[in-house]
Structure 1
Amino acid sequence: MRTQSTMDSCVLALVLAFLVAPAHASEPWLNETEVYGTTANSGGGNGVFVGLTLIQSAAAKGAVCLDGSLPGYHLHRGFGSGANSWLVNLEGGGWCNDVKSCVFRKGGRRGSSNHMERQLQFTGILSNRPEENPDFYNWNRVKVRYCDGGSFTGEGADASAGLYFRGQRIWQATMDDLMAQGMRYANQALLSGCSAGGVSTILHCDEFHGLFPSNTRVKCLADAGMFLDTVDIAGRREMRSFFNDIVRLQGSGRSLPRSCTSRMDKTSCFFPQNVVPNIQTPTFILNTAYDVWQLQQSVAPKTADPQGQWRGCRMNHASCNSNQLQFLQGFRNQMLNAVSGFSASRQNGVFINSCFAHCQSERQDTWYASNSPRLGNKRIAEAVGDWFFERGNTKYTDCAYPCDGTCHHLVFRGDH
């Protein structure tokens, strides 16, 4: 049972490690964690702590982190009815788009296994407790660490800076290792990830499906991965410029889905909205309509707001004025339009709630708790489970803010 002290500590401050800002390399906070509070009581979960496994065979394949260290993952074995089921979760954590930002990144856990935590607690969709994760708690659950800065797509290097862009090789080496660990015998498998890991999930979804025999049930869950090719408050496309830098620096183009690059430029194919229409594998898109990461870094970045008029709104949705909310409603409409065709397919699922948040599948309080966000009276874990096991409705789209009273909004304690 969750203790009051645990709950209090979670309410006071939670470290949102995956909110790594894709700003200019000169920004000192590029790869720092961000501290936030929520407007709902947060539950940290009681999941098991799982040790880090470094992939020893990766070095010979050139599958290394930005600094040349070995990649790794955390695996907690399944049991009972889940012994032959596999959940592979791709870690998020932003990107690096130039040599300077990648050099900075390789000095931390997002660019080097030398700095990774040796144990991670599995919560939310990774929890081993049925009361916290009813459908996947007894599966083989894997957290794949993210240390390439390019959503597992890079293929290149910068010798003078001591940088290795080997994301695609890391992906392949990790999958090879997991298959050898027993994943080849899976009767069902789910690839998931949030934020940059959500992008990775979409970009690698069909590739993941291709690892398994045709009679294996394989699906993908992308959480907070719908980064839109949108115009910011100054009329610029900061996110497109940033993604273009990543693709060019890391040589990502050859790893992006051919179903997209055969009809669009490579940078466009780093945007999930241009990839999801052609995904063959059943996929579930979980996203907030007002993604706070995108609000802070691509919709109203500080570079587009020199007078600081959006400062309060960036930090707390309750501080947004009517004109700002109108702009954000336009962003919501773009989000809904981006998934409209995808949503029409019977095999796909969506859960887009009108919350100011980012990543909801790995946080216990938003995944499955007594006060978790709901649409159609379904918590996120229930909606995802119904979709995966084909138990019922798989399409949930919220009304516009502020109609949803179940949201766990993120409120930041400093400007970003």
Structure 2
Amino acid sequence: MPPSPAACAPASRHLRLWWRRRGRAGAVAATFAAALVAAALLLSLSYFASLVPLSPNASPALVGLTLLRRAEEKGALCLDGSAPGYHLQRGSGGGSRSWLIHLEGGGWCRNLKSCASRQKSILGSSHYMERQVEFAGMLSDDEDQNPDFHNWNKVKIRYCDGASFSGNVKDELQNGTKFFFRGQRIWEAVMDELLLKGLRHAKQAFLTGCSAGGLATYIHCDGFRALLPKESRVKCLADGGFFLDVEDISKQRTLRAFYSDVVRLQDLKRKFLGCSSSMDPGQCFFPREVVKDIRTPVFVLNPAYDAWQVQHVLAPEASDPQHSWQDCRLDISKCSPDQLEILQGFREELHDAMREIKQKKDWGIFINSCFIHCQTLSSLTWHSPSSPRVNNKTMAEAVGDWFFDRREVKELDCEYPCNPTCHNLVFSKPFKG
């Protein structure tokens, strides 16, 4: 769920991020819609991180874009009606029958106006997608960076439907304009194509995703398992995808309201049959509800202080008319004691939402105390000498141990600012002009 630098260029004029190693702490709808555009920049973390190679020979591989065949015939189309795409890097040697599938993220669109904006970007049209992307972190083919999965077949599926690969609306015309809400069909059609390319013979397969793609991973995990041989080892991993249904600092449930619009727009309620009819439609879209019915083992990888959620769910700009949270939202080391107390409460909300998951012996958990978002596609955060660690394990080591059943993995970090290995994001103030 990261966009390319080209996709992030407009946002980067207003919001700049860089890595900073920390040892110690030192109108809602319109605002939130704009925040989701900023999410595309934040989700480009893996790109910026991958610009810093670990060694002269560790530059990320460039992998070409493949457009889905007969997309129009299958009705599997991006928001603008263009063919969806994916990037496939073939495995080798002992990994030739192992597959790692990654679902890209990049927020959601809640109404026709915001979806129309996405139609003119990589998040809604393959016409704007780069023809090559870098594979780094858990997609890397470098054994030092990616010891357990480096020689696997690896696929990055591009995200262009606006609803975490979930919509399936037959009608194309919406208020006189064509919109294709076909995320479910994109998922099915790309899977069919990959099965023909060897996925159906996989001895082991791993479905992963970041942010909105992490949410999609929860949604499609069991369906992915059903596509593959019963004797295959199949698991899933969601990175930065455990979004919380919490009140913001003004006591509004900003993300629930947003999700409710997404669910109604793309007619998703019927997809979540286990969701109570008495619940708000948006509640059905939260991982806390989705995971209740998952039978396939899942690894939950999340920062306790998810930078995207802090900025757009816990303390969105519309909830802070006095701008008292501005510095804290940009740099966690600048949070006041009272703000840190609220952030610690947010961390507790995450732990509470995962209470049942902690009891599942075959599920994995890695929750670090960092101010960041997605972490698996970055060469710095996935597995490097300076990677964040919990109980002296990098996330690559923890995920590998769990996937191959080397040990049970439930890595739960202490409260910020206890972990000196964190890479915490620091943002500049938005440009006013």
TM-score (norm 1): 0.91
Partner of 2:263: 247
Partner of 1:85: 98
Partner of 2:205: 189
Deviation, structure 1 residue 26 = 8.6
Q: Give a deviation string over 1:293-326, Cα, whole Å, max 9, x none.
A: 0000010000100110000000000110011010
Provide the secondary structure at the position in 1 that maps to 2:249: coil
Counterpart of 2:311, as a letter, is: Q
CA distance in 2 between counterparts of 1:234 and 1:370 reads 41
Q: In structure 2, do the counterparts of structure 1 residues 131 and 263 end up closer, same or farther at CA, with 3 Å as the change threshold?
A: farther
Q: In structure 2, do the counterparts of structure 1 residues 373 and 26 end up closer, same or farther at CA, with 3 Å as the change threshold?
A: closer
Deviation, structure 1 residue 255 = 3.0
Deviation, structure 1 residue 402 = 0.8
Partner of 2:382: 367
Contact 2:18 2:426 in 1 (8 A): no
Partner of 1:31: 37
CA distance in 1 between counterparts of 2:227 and 2:277 reads 22
Contact 2:68 2:85 in 1 (8 A): yes
Partner of 1:4: none
Deviation, structure 1 residue 261 = 5.7
Q: In structure 2, do the counterparts of structure 1 residues 344 and 362 end up closer, same or farther at CA, with 3 Å as the change threshold?
A: same
Partner of 2:403: 388
Matches within 5 A, 1:249-288: 249-256=265-272, 258-260=273-275, 266-288=281-303
Q: In structure 2, do the counterparts of structure 1 residues 140 and 243 end up closer, same or farther at CA, with 3 Å as the change threshold?
A: same
Deviation, structure 1 residue 185 = 0.3
Provide the secondary structure at the position in 1 that maps to 2:65: strand
Partner of 1:114: 127
With 260-269 and 150-159 compared, the bigger mean Cα shift is at: 260-269
Could you tell me which runs of 5 or more consecutive residues in structure 2 were left unpaired when the two chains were aligned.
1-15, 20-27
Counterpart of 2:299, as a letter, is: F
CA distance in 2 between counterparts of 1:359 and 1:245 reads 24
- Percent identical among aligned pairs is 50
Q: In structure 2, do the counterparts of structure 1 residues 412 and 395 end up closer, same or farther at CA, with 3 Å as the change threshold?
A: same
Provide the secondary structure at the position in 2 that maps to 1:409: strand
Provide the secondary structure at the position in 2 that maps to 1:337: helix
CA distance in 1 between counterparts of 2:277 and 2:395 reads 34
Partner of 2:413: 398
Partner of 1:73: 86
CA distance in 2 between counterparts of 1:176 and 1:312 reads 47
Contact 2:79 2:180 in 1 (8 A): yes
Partner of 1:136: 149
CA distance in 2 between counterparts of 1:191 and 1:168 reads 16
CA distance in 1 between counterparts of 2:345 and 2:35 reads 29
Could you tell me which runs of 5 or more consecutive residues in structure 1 were left unpaired when the two chains were aligned.
1-11, 16-21
Q: Give a deviation string over 1:13-66, Cα, whole Å, max 9, x none.
A: 669xxxxxx96279656535437999x998356221000000012211111000
CA distance in 1 between counterparts of 2:274 and 2:295 reads 10
- Structure scoring higher RCO (CA < 8 A, sep ≥ 6) equals 2
Partner of 2:6: none
Provide the secondary structure at the position in 2 that maps to 1:128: coil
Counterpart of 1:192, as a letter, is: T
Deviation, structure 1 residue 263 = 8.7
Matches within 5 A, 1:202-213: 202-213=218-229
Provide the secondary structure at the position in 1 that maps to 2:373: coil
Q: Give a deviation string over 1:345-395, Cα, whole Å, max 9, x none.
A: 110000001110100101110001111000111000000000000001311
Partner of 2:3: none
Whether 2:216 is the aligned partner of 1:166: answer no
Q: In structure 2, do the counterparts of structure 1 residues 26 and 142 end up closer, same or farther at CA, with 3 Å as the change threshold?
A: closer
Q: In structure 2, do the counterparts of structure 1 residues 37 and 278 end up closer, same or farther at CA, with 3 Å as the change threshold?
A: closer
CA distance in 2 between counterparts of 1:48 and 1:42 reads 12
Q: Give a deviation string over 1:193-215, Cα, whole Å, max 9, x none.
A: 11101000001111111111211
Q: In structure 2, do the counterparts of structure 1 residues 37 and 383 end up closer, same or farther at CA, with 3 Å as the change threshold?
A: closer
Partner of 1:231: 247
Provide the secondary structure at the position in 2 that maps to 1:222: strand
CA distance in 2 between counterparts of 1:221 and 1:348 reads 10
Partner of 2:333: 318
Q: In structure 2, do the counterparts of structure 1 residues 23 and 290 end up closer, same or farther at CA, with 3 Å as the change threshold?
A: farther
Which residue, out of 321, 328, 331, partners 2:343? 328
Matches within 5 A, 1:139-158: 139-156=152-169, 157-158=172-173
Contact 1:152 1:168 in 2 (8 A): yes
Contact 1:329 1:400 in 2 (8 A): yes
CA distance in 2 between counterparts of 1:236 and 1:26 reads 12
Partner of 2:232: 216
